[in-house]
Chain A
Amino acid sequence: KQEVTQIPAALSVPEGENLVLNCSFTDSAIYNLQWFRQDPGKGLTSLLLIQSSQREQTSGRLNASLDKSSGRSTLYIAASQPGDSATYLCAVNQGGKLIFGQGTELSVKP
């Protein structure tokens, strides 16, 4: 059974810092991996989607990497801003279903 784990569960950083969020999964037979952002009480906003054949994807200050063989993905946020404060979720697509990690709650202090 696929299990997705995110570390750390919570992270607090001062504004301007670069940071890395980690996601690991137990079964490497995935179709793709996706990173989402969720603000309190809101739905999900898709940030980056990495296909299983890809190694990384970039969008603005965000860079996501995927090492399928080791079951790991990282989300790198450059020059963090208070507006980046949210919960970040990773999800692996296996058989058309998304399996989510528990999320990392990020707080960026001004």
Chain B
Amino acid sequence: GAVVSQHPSWVICKSGTSVKIECRSLDFQATTMFWYRQFPKQSLMLMATSNEGSKATYEQGVEKDKFLINHASLTLSTLTVTSAHPEDSSFYICSARQGADGEQFFGPGTRLTVL
């Protein structure tokens, strides 16, 4: 099956710093990638959808200037949490899809802790 990786798997940073999370599709080309966040004991909430070579589409309530998404190639998307604060601490999961109707394949997630 299709494999999606995320790096790092966990990160701890100080308040005010920026953190970059990478999402890679290892064995297929992902025309679309999705970023989700998940708080403890809660479900996944879609943050944004990114298509290769174009600007990401953010869900309502998600600050685009705080969560910068870049999808520069068909196998890599990055999420940068800028000026992170403790309330940004969460589990961030990406998924990748090949084609308009393809199944989404999920990465293993990145645990972000902001001190």
Q: Which residues of A contact B (CB under 8 A)?
A: 31, 34, 36, 41-46, 49, 89, 91, 96-103
Question: Number of B residues whose C-beta is below 8 Å from A?
Answer: 23
Q: How far is the CB of A98 from chain B (nearest CB, A)?
A: 6
Q: Which of A31, A43, A45, A99 contacts B101 (CB 8 A)?
A: A31
A97 to B49 alpha-carbon distance, docked (Å): 8
From B97, which residue of chain A is reached at the shortest CB distance?
Answer: A96
Q: Which residues of B contact A (CB under 8 A)?
A: 6, 32, 34, 42-46, 49, 91, 93, 95, 97, 100-101, 103-109, 111
A91 to B103 alpha-carbon distance, docked (Å): 12
Total residue contacts A-B, CB cutoff 8 A: 46
Contact (Cβ within 8 A) A41 B46: no
B46: chain A residues at CB < 8 Å are: 97-99
A42 to B106 alpha-carbon distance, docked (Å): 11
B100: chain A residues at CB < 8 Å are: 96
From A4, which residue of chain B is reached at the shortest CB distance?
Answer: B43
A45 to B103 alpha-carbon distance, docked (Å): 12
A1 to B83 alpha-carbon distance, docked (Å): 32
A96 to B46 alpha-carbon distance, docked (Å): 12
Contact (Cβ within 8 A) A89 B93: no
